[in-house]
Amino acid sequence: MAEFSQFGGGGRLRHLLTLDGLEPDLIRELLDRAGAWLSRPGELPRRGHELQGWTVANLFAEPSTRTRASFELAALRLGADAVNLDMMLSSRAKGESVLDTIYTLQAMQVDVFVIRDAEPGVPEYVARHVEPQVSVISGGEAHLSHPTQGLLDALTILQYKGGFRDLAVTIVGDVRHSRVARSASTALAALGVGELRLVAPAELMPDADEFPGALRFESFDAGIAHADVVMMLRIQRERIAATPQPDLARYHELYGLTAARLHRARPEAIVMHPGPMNRGVEISTDVADGPQSVIRRQVTNGVAIRMAVLAHIAATRRGCAL
Ligand code: CP
């Protein structure tokens, strides 16, 4: 099959399916643009007209709270109409194909499809078949990719740390099945992060040819030492049904982020988690809600990043840079 490009003219995004291949300047531009959509606490959310007249359809075939709600809010705040389809409750459950679902919504003049699916390749498959004026954004593709999450994680780190070059970023937990870890590491590598560390038990560590350049640790105490950023991951139980599930109490003992363990990181280290969290498993409640946690800021940044991506794609379609 011919290679597919997510880019339109001039290196601008027509779709966003993956962060692979994005130039650092383009990532920085999206982070900058997102910063402009953030309001101060107590202010009304910022709004724009970049998507006036557009329709954005969220088609989610896996559960979501943050991604789906933030894409909907991003679309509405930019002046678009938004439609949310729970694919588990759509006519797909009656046997309708993915493409027939897409063609049906395209006939209702949808401009952007945001797609989350457990099956690898679905966002690209849809992007290959939509009309030329229609865009596709991945809202999470199997274990492979979650591009807007990678961008919002990079934005959060930038806000707290001011850059990437001198940082040690430790990603902890079920890295093997994590699309969040893959997209975050792609963004951080492009932005020149100083050191990327992966901490996981052997069965949850990704294959050796993935995460090039990352240091790997089975010991959490070793992997967290002097870290600037600690990113905790949920065990993706839905993706590891074929292998024995970890004992959760034992897992918390070895890989749970507690206040005692966080002391091994730098005193000003930030704690991240993409959500949803399993408190008492990968993270203790006092750390999740503690002064070093930036988890809710990640959620706020998620809306701004999705506004930036949608506005960028709208500008690509109009044939102009923002
Ligand atoms: N981080 C994330 O993708 O969360 P949701 O599954 O709630 O969208």
Of 18-22, 84-88, 117-121, 261-265, the range with the lowest mean pLDDT is 84-88
136 and 153 in a single domain? The answer is no
35 and 139 in a single domain? The answer is yes
What does the pLDDT read at residue 322? 47
Is 70 contained in some domain? yes
Distance, in Å, from the CA atom of 286 to the CA atom of 136, rounded to the nearest integer, reads 39
53 and 156 in a single domain? The answer is no
In what side-by-side order are the strands of the sheet with 135-141?
81-86, 55-60, 112-117, 135-141
From 67, 72, 115, 143, the mutation candidate for ligand 1 (largest count of ligand atoms within 8 A of CB) is 67
Nearest-CA residue for atom 3 of ligand 1: 67
pLDDT in tens, 205-263: 999 999 999 999 999 999 999 999 999 999 987 877 666 667 899 999 999 999 999 99
- Å from CA of 68 to ligand 1 middle: 8
Rounded average pLDDT over 40-53: 95
What does the pLDDT read at residue 48? 96
26 and 112 in a single domain? The answer is yes
Tokens representing 151 are 């961008």
Q: Of 299, 225, 219, 210, nearest to 263 (Cα)? A: 225
Which DSSP helix (H) or strand (E) runs through 198? Answer: strand 195-199
220 and 128 in a single domain? The answer is no
Rounded average pLDDT over 134-148: 98
Tokens representing 313 are 């794609």
Is 125 contained in some domain? yes
Q: What is residue 84's DSSP assignment?
A: E
103 and 154 in a single domain? The answer is no
Nearest-CA residue for atom 6 of ligand 1: 64
pLDDT in tens, 101-133: 999 999 999 999 999 999 999 999 999 999 999
Decide: 290 in ligand 1 pocket, CB within 6 A: no
Q: Under DSSP, is residue 229 helix (H, G, I), strand (E, B) or coil?
A: strand
What CATH number did the domain enclosing 226 receive? 3.40.50.1370
Is 3 contained in some domain? no
Please give the model's pTM, rounded to 2 decimal places. 0.96
- Å from CA of 67 to ligand 1 middle: 5
Domain, as residue range, for 23: 9-145+300-318
126 and 244 in a single domain? The answer is no
- Å from CA of 2 to ligand 1 middle: 31
- Å from CA of 117 to ligand 1 middle: 12
133 and 41 in a single domain? The answer is yes
| Beta carbons within 8 Å of 107's beta carbon, 6+ residues apart | none
177 and 267 in a single domain? The answer is yes
- The residue ranking higher by pLDDT, 41 or 16, is 16
To the nearest 10°, the Cα dihedral for 248, 253, 255, 259? 120
pLDDT in tens, 28-44: 999 999 999 999 989 99
162 and 132 in a single domain? The answer is no
Q: Which atom of ligand 1 is nearest to the CA of 67?
A: 8
Domain total of the chain: 2
121 and 172 in a single domain? The answer is no
